[in-house]
Structure formats: structure tokens, C-alpha cells
């Protein structure tokens, strides 16, 4: 990490931004060939220079802050700490010739954010290329490249990028012709976007319970809730755990129902060695900042149907006729992703397996470290046919007040979150509930733990009470 925080004065603003992006510290120490510190430069300094009109090709040496705080290598820790304030959190440590030795970063207590993006590889390179191409809106080479790479990864023929995961769900429902008078079965334990998209098309949601072990929608409850008005099922692969897709697809086929998979939290998860998002008529993904891979905001619909792919593209692009510009055959929407976002997405999907592996390693560390804390129960990861991925590490609290425990952990600097509320528990959705026993039980005991690739350590005492 030490070399990743250093930058030559001969570097350009673009090269310096890449170094800052890679070290995650928001700063570089600028050195000469003898590794003597000449100044510092922060990401904020570079933003201000760019706003003044400087080129990314400009050399940084003229713009470094030479009036910076530093520590000498022979100073005591108390002397070094005294140099910090609210603005200064990290300083270089140098010898008497100003040669860089190390850096000192002041951290008060523990602070683990719930999520943190890993954008340390080609994300900035591709983003810069898209920016310099001037194709920064919804046209550009990275749009198609991202759609193709991600749909290939999901083992689907087509991918239709969208502005976010919620618009992906709405687009899927619209493309399948679901609307007024139709019923759509959704799980009780999910983020509200799942049910809200059903309202967007004027359909009626039917909320059913989840399985106690997998936390995913219960096929038995799906079957019980079907009526002559039922048109679709939206299984949610919750917290990276695949639903029982064999049973769901059997029910859907027997009752001639559409299946829209909500895969917002499950990129790369598998059921019976097949990727989620490839079972139903349409799979819907989110690339929000806290997801497995991100474009900041963004989404994708995956499908193996040429007709649905074509229909979703028209609806996504204002309902405009593809061969007759500015001629609109249907009422459509502006649900497009930008080339800038897609550029980040391409870099992310190119290393999605690496990201998933790192997140799995974080979960493994949690499981080993917290093994002896008996009131903690982890989300199952060994269910038959299901290959869970790690989005957020989730636990259930047994015999201890969940909300009290959340507050204890937050006071220790851990950004933990309660699990999603059951939809049926909220007055807005309560009247649409069909069944909810397991969902209520899980929701009231569940906690999501900080989970991201940059986590360096997890200590048992952080979670002890």
C-alpha cells in the first residue's frame, strides 16, 4: 500500500487520479526520483483544477500543495497525533532529508461502512476513455459492450441496460403486458422496489411468505395464492440466495404464468449450476453503488427471448420506432443507461468473479471469527442445488433484542443495518398480504453486516456484548 500512495511530480492529473483511485485514501504524496516528498495532492484539489479548465494531461508538479503537514520518523506517536485535526487525517512520515519513510493515518475507534465500492482496476481508464470520446449520454461503444458482457455472464442471449434496478422491473412488467386487473405474486421479505414496480403498471400485488431456511419466496405459498387473475411471479433471490427455481418454474409452466426474477442482490448466484436471471422470462439486476458490481446507478434486464428484448428496447427508448426516428408507436420511457456508467460496468463485469471471491472470503472470515457467539445465526449457504453469493453478510439474532444489538454495534463504529421490513408489516402494503409468518420472524431478527472487498480484519470483540 505504501507505494500506492506515492506519485511522481512528472505525473499527469489523469495518472494521479488513477493512483488516488487505487489507494482509496483520497490523497497522494508527490515525490522526486530520490523519494523526497515535494508536496501533497488530494482528489478534491484535482477536481478544483479540472473545474478551472485544466487538462487531464497537465503535469501535477506545478499544482502540488507544498505547505503540508508531515511527521519526522524520530518523533513520538504523541507528537505525530498532535499534528492531526478535523481536516487532516493522513500525513507522510519522512526522515531529515525529507525522504518518504511511511505514512500515518489517524482513525478514531472502529469504522466499518456497510458497503464500499471496489473501483481499483480499469474502471477509471474506461470511464476516462468514454469521457474523452464525448459520447457521454446513452450512445457509445460501452453500452452495447456492457450489455453483451453481462448477458453472457448470466448465460442469457440478450441484455437490456436500464437506468436502475427498479426501472428494470417496471420495464419487464410492461414488456410482458401486465397491467390493470392482473395479479403478481411477490415475496413478503424484499426491498420495496419489487412491489412498487407492480403498482407502476396498475396491477395488484399478492404478498406471500418466504421459506424459513432459504429466506426466498415459498413455492407452496405461491401455489396457494394463485387465482384466475394471476399473471406473474417475481421471485427475489434475497441477499444472494437463489430461490427454489425448479418448483417455481414448474408452477409457472403449469399455470401459464410469467416469471420475472429479481436478481438485484444476487449477481452470479446459481441454482442447479445455472445462473439466476436465466430461468424466467426476464431477469432484473441492479448496479446501485452497494451492489456486487456497480455503475453508480443502473440496471439490466436479461432474457433469452428475441421478442422481449426487442420490446424492452423500444419501451426503454421513449417508445420510438427503431427504423423511423421520432416516430412513436407506443408510450415509452427514458430508462437508458449512459455510456459513462456503462464504461464502469464493463470494467466491473470483467472481474466479477474476482469480486465475488473476495466477498466470499469476507463472509468466511465472519463465520470463523463469530463462530463462538452463540446468539448469532448466519444465513444458510449450504442448501441443496443453491450456490449463494455474498452480497451482504446476514445474521439472525436469537435470544437477544435485535434493535438493542444494532445500537451496541453502531456505537462501536460498525455500520450494521436491520434486515428489510416485511412488506406486510407496513400499512402501505398490508392489505395485499396473503401469508407472512416466516417473513415476520426473519425480518424482526435479521441484521446485515458490513461487507465489501476492502475489509482488512474482523475481530470477535467487536460483536461481543
C-alpha cell at 137: 449520454
Give the integer Cα–Cα distance in Å for 429 and 447: 22
Q: Does residue 253 have an active-site annotation?
A: no
Which residue from 35, 113, 16, 30 is spatially nearest to 454, judged by alpha carbons?
A: 113
Distance in angstroms between the alpha carbons of the first and the last residue of the chain: 34
Whether residue 211 contacts residue 441, with contact meaning beta carbons closer than 8 Å, is answered with no
From 149, 231, 275, 291, active-site residue: 291
Copy the grid coordinates of residue 158. Answer: 440478450
State the residue for C-alpha cell 480499469.
122
Residue 295 grid cell: 455503475
Backbone phi and psi for residue 189, each to the nearest 5 degrees, phi listed first: -105, 95
Residue where the block lists cell 412488467: 173
Residues 6+ apart with CB under 8 A from 284: 165, 168, 169, 172, 260, 261, 262, 263, 264, 277, 299, 300, 301, 302
447 pairs with which residues across the strands?
395, 418
The burial of 102, by beta-carbon neighbours within 10 Å (0-12 exposed, 13-18 middle, 19 or more buried), is given as exposed
Select from 431, 257, 454 the least CA-distant residue to 362: 454
CB 142 within 8 A of CB 126: yes
CA separation, residue 242 to residues 199, 245, 343, 400 (Å): 25, 8, 28, 28
* CA 234 and chain centroid, separation: 20
CA pair distance 292, 280, nearest whole angstrom:
21
Place of cell 441443496: 384
Nearest by Cα to 275 from 306, 302, 247, 294: 302
Q: Which residue has the cell 522526486?
A: 32
Q: What angle do CA 37, 41, 42 make, to 5 degrees?
A: 140
Strands 393-397, 386-387: pairing kind: unpaired
C-alpha count within 13 angstroms, C-beta hemisphere, residue 411 = 8
Q: Could you list the beta-strand ranges (E) of 273-360.
A: 274-275, 282-286, 299-303
Residues labelled as active-site residues: 291
Amino acid at each position: 500500500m505504501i507505494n500506492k500512495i506515492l506519485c511522481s511530480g512528472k505525473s499527469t492529473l489523469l495518472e494521479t487520479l488513477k493512483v488516488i483511485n487505487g489507494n482509496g485514501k483520497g490523497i497522494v504524496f508527490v515525490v522526486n526520483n530520490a523519494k523526497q516528498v515535494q508536496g501533497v495532492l488530494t482528489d478534491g484539489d484535482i477536481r478544483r483544477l479540472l473545474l478551472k479548465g485544466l487538462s487531464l494531461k497537465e503535469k501535477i508538479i506545478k499544482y502540488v500543495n507544498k505547505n503540508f503537514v508531515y511527521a519526522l520518523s524520530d518523533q513520538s506517536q504523541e507528537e505525530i497525533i498532535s499534528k492531526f485535526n478535523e481536516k487532516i487525517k493522513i500525513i507522510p512520515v519522512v526522515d531529515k532529508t525529507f525522504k518518504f519513510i511511511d505514512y500515518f493515518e489517524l482513525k478514531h475507534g472502529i469504522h466499518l461502512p456497510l458497503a464500499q465500492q471496489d473501483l481499483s482496476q480499469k474502471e477509471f481508464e474506461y470511464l476516462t476513455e468514454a469521457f474523452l470520446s464525448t459520447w457521454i449520454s446513452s450512445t457509445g461503444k460501452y453500452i452495447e459492450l456492457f450489455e453483451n458482457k453481462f448477458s453472457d455472464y448470466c448465460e442469457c442471449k440478450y441484455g437490456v441496460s436500464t437506468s436502475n434496478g427498479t426501472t428494470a422491473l417496471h420495464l419487464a412488467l410492461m414488456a410482458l403486458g401486465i397491467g390493470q386487473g392482473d395479479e403478481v405474486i411477490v415475496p413478503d421479505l424484499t426491498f420495496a422496489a419489487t412491489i412498487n414496480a407492480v403498482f407502476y403498471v396498475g396491477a395488484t400485488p399478492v404478498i406471500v411468505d418466504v421459506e424459513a431456511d432459504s429466506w426466498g419466496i415459498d413455492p407452496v405459498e405461491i401455489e396457494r395464492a394463485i387465482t384466475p387473475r394471476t399473471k406473474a411471479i417475481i421471485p427475489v433471490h434475497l441477499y444472494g440466495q437463489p430461490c427454489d427455481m425448479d418448483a417455481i418454474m414448474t408452477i409457472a409452466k403449469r399455470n401459464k404464468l410469467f416469471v420475472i426474477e429479481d436478481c438485484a442482490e444476487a449477481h452470479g448466484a446459481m441454482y442447479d449450476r445455472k445462473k439466476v436471471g436465466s430461468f424466467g422470462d426476464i431477469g432484473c439486476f441492479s448496479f446501485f453503488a452497494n451492489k456486487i458490481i456497480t455503475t453508480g446507478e443502473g440496471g439490466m434486464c436479461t432474457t433469452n427471448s428475441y421478442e422481449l428484448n426487442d420490446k424492452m428496447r423500444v419501451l426503454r427508448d421513449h417508445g420510438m420506432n427503431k427504423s423511423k426516428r421520432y416516430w412513436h408507436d407506443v408510450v415509452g420511457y427514458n430508462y437508458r443507461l449512459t455510456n459513462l456508467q456503462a464504461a464502469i460496468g464493463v470494467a466491473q463485469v470483467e472481474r466479477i468473479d474476482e469480486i465475488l471471491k473476495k466477498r466470499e472470503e469476507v463472509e468466511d472470515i465472519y463465520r470463523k471469527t463469530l463462530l463462538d457467539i452463540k446468539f448469532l445465526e448466519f444465513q444458510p449457504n449450504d442448501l441443496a442445488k443453491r450456490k449463494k453469493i455474498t452480497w451482504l453478510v446476514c445474521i439472525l439474532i436469537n435470544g437477544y433484542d435485535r434493535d438493542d444489538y444494532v445500537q451496541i454495534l453502531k456505537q462501536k463504529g460498525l455500520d450494521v443495518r436491520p434486515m428489510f421490513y416485511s412488506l406486510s408489516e407496513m400499512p402501505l402494503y398490508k392489505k395485499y398480504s396473503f401469508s407472512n409468518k416466516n417473513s415476520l420472524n426473519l425480518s424482526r431478527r435479521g441484521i446485515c453486516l458490513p461487507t465489501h472487498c476492502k475489509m482488512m480484519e474482523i475481530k470477535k470483540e467487536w460483536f461481543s456484548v
